[in-house]
Amino acid sequence: MEQPNLSYINSMSGGDKAFEQKLIEIIQLEFPEEKKIYFSNFNAKDFKQIAENVHKLKHKISILGLEKSYEVAVAYENNLHDGNIDLHEEFEAILTTMTNYLELL
């Protein structure tokens, strides 16, 4: 599985370390709550809300340089609109990878 990285954040910052740190802090603050809401909606089988949660989370996936995972999130979001959760386990693995990475920063 691909690993998160800060390449995108570094390219956006133009070398501004304070900006990079602020963006990382925002992701570290928002991601756990967004993940919690995703799982709550998944357990409630609220497909519309799950799709919205995935839509929101996929931007953080992209920011952390997870290009293939972003494609999975896009496909999963589209599938959810049809009530299809086939990519749930793959998406959950992406969230776990992100969680582990963010805890190390």
Report the C-alpha gap between 105 and 97 in whole angstroms.
Answer: 13
How many CB atoms within 10 Å of residue 26?
Answer: 12
Q: Is residue 33 part of a domain?
A: yes
Q: Is residue 81 part of a domain?
A: yes
The pair of three-digit structure tokens given for residue 39, joined into one six-digit string? 């799982």
Residue 11, pLDDT > 90, answer yes
Residue with tokens 């953080």: 60
Domain that holds residue 16: 12-104
The number of folded domains in the chain is 1
Give the pLDDT band of residue 1 (cuts 50, 70, 90): confident
Q: What is the CATH number of the domain that holds 84?
A: 1.20.120
Q: Is residue 3 part of a domain?
A: no
Q: State the amino acid at position 92 in one-letter form.
A: E
How many CB atoms within 10 Å of residue 5?
Answer: 12
Q: Is residue 4 part of a domain?
A: no
Query: With pLDDT > 90 as the criterion, what percentage of the chain qualifies?
Result: 99
Segment holding 4, helix H or strand E: none
